[in-house]
């Protein structure tokens, strides 16, 4: 009887344990794609990030910036202010 050794590479199997894991995986993929764009066209990457911030803010009924602090909040404030959403940054954060 002959045995056949099989090497199975399961590194490409990506099974999410729950919705949170799936969301985290997709967020990491998005971040990677934005980094790739930024390497070749930083201005376009910034526009993509700004649009992502605006859309997240809309999805969260205007409360996205409340989840941020420091520099990330300042970046979101800038994106939301320049997007024409009419949102002006608060002075308390």
DSSP-derived secondary structure for 68-80: --HHHHHHHHHHH
Query: In this structure, what DSSP letter does residue 92 have?
Result: -
Q: Which helix (H) or strand (E) holds 5?
A: none
Below-50 pLDDT ranges, the chain: 86, 88-93
pTM for this structure? 0.62
H helix or E strand, kind and range, residue 33 = helix 19-40
How many of the other CB atoms lie within 10 Å of CB of 68?
15
The Cα 17–Cα 9 span in angstroms is 20
- As a whole number of angstroms, the distance between CA 85 and CA 93 comes to 19
């Amino acid at each position: 009887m002959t045995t056949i050794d099989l090497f199975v590479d399961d590194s490409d199997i990506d099974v999410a344990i729950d919705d949170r894991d799936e969301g985290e995986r997709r967020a990491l993929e998005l971040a990677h794609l934005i980094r790739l764009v930024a390497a070749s066209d930083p201005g376009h990457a910034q526009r993509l990030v700004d649009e992502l911030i605006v859309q997240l803010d809309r999805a969260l009924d205007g409360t996205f910036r409340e989840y941020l602090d420091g520099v990330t909040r300042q970046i979101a404030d800038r994106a939301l202010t320049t997007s024409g959403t009419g949102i002006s940054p608060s002075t308390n954060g």
